[in-house]
Amino acid sequence: MRTQSHTIAPLSEPVENRYFSKFGITDALSIESAAWVAKFINGVLSRVAAVDPRTPVMFQGGFRPKTFWSSCFAADSNLVFDAHHYYFAGRPTTSDNLPTFMCEDAKDSIGDGKFPVFVGEWSIQAVSNSVLASRPDQELEQPTLRLVQA
C-alpha cells in the first residue's frame, strides 16, 4: 500500500490592504474580508472531503493569528495552518534581535492546538540594520541551505 503524502493549498497570504507597510501584519486583511476567506476555505474543505477526506487543506490566513481562524472551522476539519513569519514589517527588528523574534514566533506557532501548524515561510530580513555582519554567529550542525552568489 502506498502512503498518501500530499495536501492542497488553495489560498496563500490573502491581503486586501494596498499599503505595503501593512503586509505581513494583521492589518493586511480586514475582519470583513477574513469572514469571506473563512467561507471560501470552508467551501474548499467540504469539496476536498467529498473527493478524498484524507487530503488535508493547507491555509495561510493573511497574517492573522491561528487563534483568530481556529473558531471559523469545525474541529473535525482536515485543516493545516500554514504560518509565514516576516520580520521586515510591523515589529522593531534588527539583525541583532532577529533570533529573539524568531524564537518567540516558533513558540506562538503552536496556536491553540485545534489544528496542526506548518511553518511554510521564514524571512530573515529585518526592518532596520539588516546586514549579515551584525548577526550573531550561529553554528549549524547540518546546514540545510547553502547560498551561492552568481
Over residues 96-148, the pLDDT tens digits come to 888 888 888 888 888 888 999 988 888 777 777 777 666 666 554 444 444 44
Domains held by the chain: number: 1
Domain limits at 109?
20-130
> Does any domain span residue 49?
yes
Task: Give residues with Cβ within 8 angstroms of 96, minimum separation 6.
Answer: 129, 134, 135, 136
> Does any domain span residue 83?
yes
- Predicted pLDDT at 143: 44
Tell me, letter by letter, the H, E, C secondary structure of 115-128.
CCEEEEEECCCCCC
0.85 exceeded by pTM: no
Tens digit of each residue's pLDDT (9 = 90 or more) over 7-63: 999 998 888 877 777 777 777 889 999 999 999 999 999 999 999 999 999 999 888
Grid cell 529573539 — which residue? 100
How many residues in the chain?
150
> Does any domain span residue 148?
no
